[in-house]
Amino acid sequence: MKLKDKVAIVTGGSKGIGWGVATVFAQQGAKVSVVARDAKAGEQTAEEIRDKGGEAIFIPCDISNEEEVKAMVATTIDAFGQIDILVNNAGVGVYKSVLDTTSEEWDRCLAIDLKGAFLCSKYTIPHMQAIGKGVIINMSSVHSHATVNSVAPYAASKGGMTALTRNMAIDYGPTIRVNAIAPGWVWTPLIENLFNSYDNPVHQRELVEKRQVMKRLGTPEDIGNAAAFLASDEASFITGTQLFVDGGLTSVLEESW
C-alpha cells in the first residue's frame, strides 16, 4: 500500500474527482478527511470508504470561509493526530467571458478555486512542519496551460493554482513537496451538468470523446491514481511541477490531417 497510515485531507472529497482521490487514497491505506459543504454526499462517501474497510470521516466545510477551514483542520487533528497530505481539489466552474462575468461571479470562482487552496494550505502547513514532512497536491486544470473561449474566471483561477504550486514548493521545501495535477475531461457531476446544458448531452459527450487521443473521458480513479503516486514516497524527488492527466489533450496542436 502506497499511503499506509498517512492522514489525508481531500477537499471536495464527496463527489467527482475528489471522490476518486479519497477512494484510491483509502484503498492505499490512508485515513481520509472528506471535506465538502453538502453533508449528505459527504457522509455517503465516508461511509462507502468505511464499508470497504477503509478509514474516513466527513467534515462539513466551505473552503472559502477562513473560520470553517481552521475548524476543519482542527477536527482532522483531533480525529487522526496529524496531517501528511492535503489535496486542494474542491472547485467550481464559471464559464464566461470577462464582459459576461459579474464581479460577484468572479469573486465566487476565485474564492473557492484559488483562495480556498490558500486557506487550506495556510492552516495545514504548520501541522506538516510539526512532523517534518508533508505533501500538497493542487487540482489545477488543462486551462492553466492552454484554454478556450469564455472561461475567463475559471482559467485565471487555475493559472493561479499552478503558480501557487511552484511558490509553495519553493517556500516549504524540502520539508513539504507541492505539486499540481492538470486533469483534462473527467466524467464527474461538474461535466455531467455541463453536457446537460446542451440540447443533446449524449451527442455532446461523444463529440468530446472523439477529440481525445485516448478516445474517452477520464475517470475520477484515473486522477486518484495519479494523486496517490504524487503523494507517495515513490515521488520523493518530484516537487513544484504539474502532472497533466488529460488523455493526451494538451499534446494536440490541431486536428490530424
Binding site for ligand NAP (CB under 6 A): 11-12, 14-18, 35-38, 41, 61-64, 89-92, 112, 139, 141, 183, 185-186, 188-191
Using CA atoms, how far apart are residues 167 and 162, in angstroms rounded to an integer? 9
- Ramachandran region, residue 150 (left: φ > 0; alpha: ψ -120 to 50; beta: rest): left
- Sign of the torsion formed by the C-alpha atoms of 175, 16, 153 and 156: positive
* Residue 154 bears catalytic tag: yes
Using CA atoms, how far apart are residues 71 and 77, in angstroms rounded to an integer? 10
The residue (of 91 and 134) whose beta carbon lies closer to ligand NAP is 91
CB of 238 to ligand NAP, least distance (A): 20
* CA–CA–CA angle 232, 236, 241 (5° rounding): 95
SS3 content of the chain, % helix, strand, coil (to 5): 50, 15, 35
The residue (of 81 and 158) whose beta carbon lies closer to ligand NAP is 158
Q: Which residues pair with 35 in a beta bridge?
A: 11, 59
Q: State the catalytic residue, choosing from 95, 154, 172, 198.
A: 154
CB of 161 to ligand NAP, least distance (A): 8
All 3 cell numbers of residue 175? 520539508
The residue (of 5 and 216) whose beta carbon lies closer to ligand NAP is 216
CB of 242 to ligand NAP, least distance (A): 12
The residue (of 13 and 81) whose beta carbon lies closer to ligand NAP is 13
CB of 132 to ligand NAP, least distance (A): 28
> Which residues are identified as catalytic?
154
